[in-house]
Chains A and B, each alone.
Chain A
Amino acid sequence: AQSVTQLDSQVPVFEEAPVELRCNYSSSVSVYLFWYVQYPNQGLQLLLKYLSGSTLVESINGFEAEFNKSQTSFHLRKPSVHISDTAEYFCAVSGKGAQKLVFGQGTRLTINP
């Protein structure tokens, strides 16, 4: 079975500051890793994913995440945030061959002007 821990429930930052949202996972098999974003009063949408190959993956809006197998982590980073990045971010893991996607508890990112 897989599990995910998001280490921060809330992260407040100032606009144009860098941010890191932390995610650690547990699994006895190889995994696929995902970050989903939920804007206020909406469903979730995929931000980026790691399946295999390069451990650094990027989204179209400037976020990136790095798969670290030895530390079982998949932290999400952005060098300069914008007000429009205000949302809740969910890390998720699926074991290869598994049929379930397991989500973390979510991190609420709040951007202050």
Chain B
Amino acid sequence: NAGVTQTPKFQVLKTGQSMTLQCAQDMNHEYMSWYRQDPGMGLRLIHYSVGAGITDQGEVPNGYNVSRSTTEDFPLRLLSAAPSQTSVYFCASSYQAGPYEQYFGPGTRLTVT
């Protein structure tokens, strides 16, 4: 199993550009989520999904869109990048929400200039 994969590993964007961060898992997990990690702030939940076709907002959803057309994939779209979105982004998956271990991808380091 590859586990949770994320692409790209690094990305530099100019303000106003859009892009999609890719996330895929091969563990047949129902629950997937996106977090951003900023120094001193821990991980903050952006969006999550409890199954294909179902998504919901987390703590910091503004400026981001998600969709879940398949169990395996959960892409995160930045609509119009802003310097405040400079961060490290982690995708995670688990069997279901609640008491189950979340498996994290290696992260995408995004810089917006």
Listed in ascending order, the chain A residues whose CB lies under 8 Å from chain B are 4, 6, 9, 32, 36, 42-46, 49, 51, 90, 94, 96-106
Chain A residues with Cβ below 8 Å from B35 are 103
The 8 closest A-B pairs by CB, nearest first: A43-B104, A99-B97, A103-B43, A105-B42, A103-B42, A44-B104, A46-B101, A32-B99
The residues of A that contact B99 with a CB separation of less than 8 Å are: 32, 49, 51, 94
A90 to B102, CA, bound (A): 13
Q: Mark B92-113, 1 if CB is under 8 A from A, else 0.
A: 1000011101101111000000
Contact B98 A32 (CB under 8 A): yes
Q: When the two chains form their complex, are residues A94 and B98 in contact, meaning their CB atoms are under 8 A apart?
A: yes
Contact of B42 among A32, A43, A90, A97 (CB under 8 A): A90
Could you tell me if A100 and B101 are in contact, using CB atoms closer than 8 angstroms? Answer: no
**Contacts A32-B98, A44-B90, A100-B48: A106 and B42 contacting too (C-beta < 8 A)?**
yes
How far apart are the CA atoms of A102 and B102 in the complex, in Å? 12
Given contacts A90-B42, A105-B40, contact A43 B48 (CB under 8 A): no
Contact size range, B = 20 to 34
Residues of B within 8 A of A (CB): 4, 31, 33, 35, 40-45, 48, 50, 56, 58-59, 90, 92, 97-99, 101-102, 104-107
A102: chain B residues within 8 A (beta carbon)? 45, 59
A contact residues around B40 at 8 Å (CB)? 9, 105-106
Task: Judge whether A45 and B48 touch: CB under 8 Å.
Answer: no
A45 to B44, CA, bound (A): 16
